[in-house]
Amino acid sequence: MIRKILIANRGEIALRIVRACRELGIQTIAVYSEADEQSLHVQLADEAICIGPASGAESYLRADRILSAAEIGDVDAIHPGYGFLSENSEFAEQCESCNIIFIGPRSETIMMMGDKAKARETVSKAGVPIIPGSDGPLENEHAATKVAQKIGFPVIIKAVAGGGGRGMRIAHNAVTFAKEFQSARLEALKAFGNGELYIEKYLESPRHIEFQVLADMHGNMVHLGERDCSVQRRHQKVIEESPSPFLDKNLRNRMGKAALKATQSADYVNAGTIEFLVDAKGNFYFIEMNTRIQVEHAVTEEATGIDLIKEQIQIASGNRLGFTQKEISLTKHAIECRICAENPSKGFIPSPGEIELYSAPGGHGVRVDSHAYGGYTVSPYYDSMISKVITFGRTRKIALDRMYRALSEYLIRGIDTNVDFLKAVLMDPAFRQGEATTSYIEEFLARMPKDFLDKQSKD
């Protein structure tokens, strides 16, 4: 029985977890940095403990301080949210050795899937298609060039420990390869403390389609359909939706089966996501598994009606899944936009500062997950996302029209945001017709007048 949970995170996901716990009658402890003293997750949790100064490295990434807070608070479990320590296998292991339930998969699973070269190897052995590329990490530039020449250019160089689109470089020919390899290695070392790299064939304009999975400790597992996350900027997701406008029933079934095979190959427990790239012909390839709840989980919740955070807690408590694959369907169309404090006219640079006025959309078929409020200060220390808006309805058209309406209702003053940019995408015929691939934003901007971005900063 889980009675009390420490939430090792901040922002909207910390709030989201507080809400799920409250509905389950579970007590919560928030942890916070000095910059977050006034945050909603601190105010709404049952208890709150300060764990250090603003910098993430000195607070939300300090496993020792979080574990001390867990001990003081006498919690049964820790929910890591996404980012920070959520995919840190050492932290999961420390929780296990302190007899605190880590709400997520086992530490060995996190470690295995966190090594993207190893993950490729594991799922491939189970019969899940992967993109042609290197077997394991590449020793050096020389070995890498040989593999690149064998699979044929263009190739994408990726960090074994990668995440968030960092440490990734595209090489179009053997001449640029060496330079790209070096810069990917430096970036990976800086971002992850691990410079190991692998390569894959670079697919031109694929779709990014991922499957949400749930697995309990008793060997039961299901997938909850897909999320299409093709609308990306610098390999980072901006808009996500479920179902994907590209999949038909047959392809959904085949990809769902492959997602479950990948899940099984890792002997996985709890919620996870199997990410695939899909080409124009419908060939699909595994790229990675995320061993945590994701930002875009709400899209699946609204499409299926299943509360994923509650499911995570039920699974961690040792309960069996309460449904079978046959009982799950995508009964609604749901779409999410990430609202960020950033300035599109200045290359989308973050725009931290005090939000003078904040009023979020509402009404039928609209969900907003946000920690922002009027008077809240967006800190430069953390992610620039201030709000997620999810709209849903019976059809894709209803969800899209509703999204445009919802975006138009945001009143945010004091900081710049990407709201107007998102509205422009929502009105774009190519996006509305479901044609977006991972190259979409780049192509969209190329089609727009030169001064388009100058007019897209909502303040």
Residue 60 or 202 with smaller CB distance to ligand ADP: 202
Q: Write the DSSP assignment of 20-40 as a string of letters.
A: HHHHHT-EEEEEEEGGGTT-H
The pair of three-digit structure tokens given for residue 169, joined into one six-digit string: 């470089």
| Contact yes or no for 102/66 (Cβ under 8 A) | no
Check binding of 203 to ligand ADP (CB under 6 A): yes
Residue pair 281/272 in contact (Cβ under 8 Å)? The answer is: no
Counting contacts by CB under 6 A, is residue 56 touching ligand ADP? Answer: no
Rounded CA-CA distance 102/95 in Å is 6
| 165 binds ligand ADP per the rule CB under 6 A | yes
Candidate ranges 33-41, 201-209, 262-270, 352-360; the one touching ligand ADP (CB under 6 A): 201-209
Spot the catalytic one: 62, 227, 252, 292. Answer: 292
Q: Nearer to ligand ADP by C-beta: 33 or 232?
A: 232
- Closest approach of ligand ADP to the CB of residue 399, in Å: 22
Find the part of the chain contacting ligand ADP (CB under 6 A) among 86-94, 197-205, 263-271, 374-382.
Answer: 197-205
Q: Which of 232, 304, 417, 418 binds ligand ADP (CB under 6 A)?
A: 232
Does residue 241 interact with ligand ADP by CB under 6 A?
A: no
Of residues 416-455, those binding ligand ADP (CB under 6 A): 438
Q: Does 157 bind ligand ADP (CB under 6 A)?
A: no
Q: Does position 86 bind ligand ADP by CB under 6 A?
A: no
Nearer to ligand ADP, 269 or 277 (CB): 277
Distances, alpha carbon 453 to alpha carbons 342, 389, 449, in Å? 12, 22, 9
Measured CA to CA in angstroms, residue 377 lies from 39, 200, 297, 352, 386 at distances of 9, 41, 26, 7, 10
Contact 91, 80 (CB under 8 A): yes
Least Å from the CB of residue 38 to ligand ADP: 31
Q: Where are the extended beta strands (E) located within 207-279?
A: 207-215, 221-233, 236-242, 270-278
Helix spans in 168-219 (H): 174-192
Whether 217 contacts 184, CB under 8 Å = no
Token digits for 273? 């996501």
Three-state SS string over 371-422 comes to: CCCCCCEECCCCCCEEEEEEEEECCHHHHHHHHHHHHHHCEEECCCECHHHH
Least Å distance between CB 85 and ligand ADP?
A: 17
Q: How far is the CB of 89 from ligand ADP (least distance, A)?
A: 16
Binder to ligand ADP among 21, 100, 156, 295 (CB under 6 A)? 156
In the residue annotation, 394 being an active-site residue is answered as no
Catalytic positions, please?
292
> Applying CB under 6 A, which residues contact ligand ADP?
131, 156, 162-165, 168, 200, 202-203, 206, 208, 232, 235, 275, 277, 287-288, 438
